[in-house]
Structure 1
Amino acid sequence: MTKPDPVIEWLLDSDPSIRWQVMCDLLDAPQPEWMAERAKVETEGWGAKLLSFQDDDGQWAGGAFLPADFDPREWREHGQPWTATTFSLSQLREFGFDPSSERARRTVALLGASAHWEEGGQPYWEGEVEECINGRTVADGAYFGIDVSRIVERLTGERLDDSGWNCERVRGSLRSSFASTINVLEGLLEFERSTGGTPQSREARSTGEKFLLERNLFRRLGTGEPADERFLRFLHPNRWRYDILRALYYFRSSAMLTGADPDPRLGEAIGHLRSRRSNDGRWLLDWTLPGRVWFHVNEAQGQPSRWITLRAMRVLRWWDRQASVRH
């Protein structure tokens, strides 16, 4: 008999939102088995807990981007709050909450009828004004079956000359941001997965990928130095923040959708990811974002993280399988 993998056993000894992804992507379990596990996200564990905090109008914490009781001092003194609708919905998507379920359909319909962005008062599914927020709104909307093509059209027209995006563009920024770019790319990828995309969205996604690949996912184009040391340290949940694991996971998802070969410019980031694996086969949570949350979904900072380990193992499994095919 094959000896059980202790890391896989550790991942399975967790929440349904992690278990179904392990079964699907690391164990190649039959679809009926992992789909049955995925269905538990709505009724058990973190998914059910997050849904229990939902307001009657479909929102969370009474607001789209900010809780209804938000005071600017909270952000300054304790960090950005993460309990409002946009971050809660994105977390449900990460958990794998079934978008075809009655609860999901009711949620997105309620949000369309009652939720408005604090910046400008736009209806929720028409998008906000900032590229980072709109990228995540496209990802959530496309995942849950909403027509977000108007936001996509807007995003494709907001690229900067260096091929990426920056949510500080309206304040005069002419240089793309790693964080803004990955948020938009994830949204465009989910839109393409759900609808096939448009020629404009596919072209924008390609050029946005070029921005990251030309920089080996973390380096400055001019000097070759790391653009931010935190890009090489792993966090979860990412929210709007960037690190190379988030980027690698995006490129894995993109290649699996399109059938493209892994780009060799990912190799340095892959090497760093391998180097960060502990002797016991797990990866640590390097840092977390401060700020109000409904509840924590990770082990303590500096401890082995199931979410980080799951993502890292999926990326390396994809990379190594493709390498074996090429050779």
Structure 2
Amino acid sequence: MVTGDVLAWLLDSDPALRWQVERDLAGEPPEVWEATRARVATEGFGARLLALQDPDGRWAGGAYFPAGFEFGAAETEGQPWTATTWSLNSLREWGLDAAVLRERRTAELLAEHCRWEYDGLPYWGGEVDCCVNAWTVGNGLWLGADVTGVVDWFVEHRLPDGGWNCAWVEGSRRSSFHSTLNSLTGLLAHDAATGGTDATHAARRAGEEYLLRRGLFRRLSTGEPVAPWVDRFAYPFRWYYSVLNAAEYFRRAALLDGTPPDPRMAAAIERVRAARQPDGTWLQARRHPGRVWFEVDVPAGEPSKWLTLFGARVLDWWDSGTHLG
């Protein structure tokens, strides 16, 4: 549970964050947090990002990258986060009512005007990258686009060890923590919106098992942490893996499936708990480099309201759960 001071600090925030605090930490009734959520379209981060949408439905003139972007040309480090996919991801994660973008005919406009930088493929058909396709599924379901073919793609492209890897096109047969988690979020969005199919349920279970067998952060071969980034928490998450990002996925999946937390997550949860500061907050570890429309969280080293929401929410779920075993 968060303290009164931390809760008051969290509630003094943008509607995109505040409604989630009201619902998940403050225990407010639906009429309170739904009213706050409705303000995402007209105030703060949500309204600012909506105002930046191009008349043709895109943001920054591109699908995954802004129009004209070339690595090494204008950027000093990292990729830009301003194009259509990243903008849709943010609006969806912030809780924008999809009706706002449906009234703008966003799905239809993107079908007509937006193509992936990879081979000029149609936007709602996805491409070859697992993470890109996962966001296409989530955003397409949200906006009412037909993404059935992309969902089927995940079932067909799961690797023998249970997960996914964006480097499969280069011949990789070993799953990636990053790619597997992002793929799972796409499949979870599908199952939540449609009820799923036997095939998507099986694919999701296999991907979850890939991560759970590794305790969400360990190498299967040695038991050592797979990399230093497993507990380097940064918001926005973007495509990056961390045990906090993974635990948040498993929290949402458990709520959808009606299952308790899996005890194999215990060591990962303790890493989340260990990152909590004495005052009850979590610190921003870094800002992922690259151009943004505007900042939505604090610089590295400062207490992050977003990470504190995620951390507190995960611990509340874990500490109140009856674990499988």
Report the TM-score, using the length of structure 2 for normalisation.
Answer: 0.96
Letter in 1 for 2:197: T
Deviations 1:12-31 (A, max 9, x none): 11100011001111122111
Q: 1:248 to 1:172 in 2, by over 3 A?
A: same
Q: CA deviation at 1:60?
A: 0.4
Match of 2:126 in 1: 127
Aligned length: 323
Deviations 1:193-214 (A, max 9, x none): 0001111111000000000000
Q: CA deviation at 1:146?
A: 2.5
Q: CA deviation at 1:103?
A: 5.1
Q: How does 1:149-168 map to 2 (within 5 A)?
A: 149-168=148-167
Match of 1:281 in 2: 280
Q: How does 1:1-327 map to 2 (within 5 A)?
A: 5-74=4-73, 77-101=76-100, 106-323=105-322
Quote the Cα distance in structure 1 between the aligned partners of 2:119 and 2:255.
37
Deviations 1:226-245 (A, max 9, x none): 11111111011111111110
Q: CA deviation at 1:320?
A: 1.4
Letter in 2 for 1:285: Q
Q: 1:282 to 1:104 in 2, by over 3 A?
A: farther
Deviations 1:253-310 (A, max 9, x none): 0000010111001111111111111011000011221000001101111110011000
Quote the Cα distance in structure 1 between the aligned partners of 2:293 and 2:287.
15
Is residue 101–residue 143 contact of structure 2 (8 Å, CA) maintained in 1?
Answer: no
Identity in percent = 51
Letter in 2 for 1:57: D
Is there any run of 5+ residues in structure 2 with no aligned partner, and where? none
Is there any run of 5+ residues in structure 1 with no aligned partner, and where? none
Moved more, 212-221 or 69-78: 69-78
Quote the Cα distance in structure 2 between the aligned partners of 1:112 and 1:5.
47
Runs of 4+ in 1 over 4 A off after TM superposition: 102-105
- 2:98 aligns to what SS in structure 1? coil
Q: 1:104 to 1:140 in 2, by over 3 A?
A: farther
* RMSD between superposed Cα atoms in Å: 1.7
Deviations 1:127-158 (A, max 9, x none): 12211110111122223332211101011110
Quote the Cα distance in structure 2 between the aligned partners of 1:131 and 1:97.
24
- 1:183 aligns to what SS in structure 2? helix
Q: CA deviation at 1:105?
A: 5.8
Q: CA deviation at 1:117?
A: 0.7
Quote the Cα distance in structure 2 between the aligned partners of 1:159 and 1:71.
31
- 2:321 aligns to what SS in structure 1? helix
Is residue 50–residue 88 contact of structure 1 (8 Å, CA) maintained in 2?
Answer: yes
Report the TM-score, using the length of structure 1 for normalisation.
Answer: 0.95
Moved more, 201-210 or 68-77: 68-77
Quote the Cα distance in structure 1 between the aligned partners of 2:74 and 2:129.
18
Is residue 143–residue 191 contact of structure 1 (8 Å, CA) maintained in 2?
Answer: no
Q: CA deviation at 1:72?
A: 2.1
Is residue 127–residue 133 contact of structure 2 (8 Å, CA) maintained in 1?
Answer: yes
Q: CA deviation at 1:102?
A: 5.4
Is residue 163–residue 211 contact of structure 1 (8 Å, CA) maintained in 2?
Answer: yes
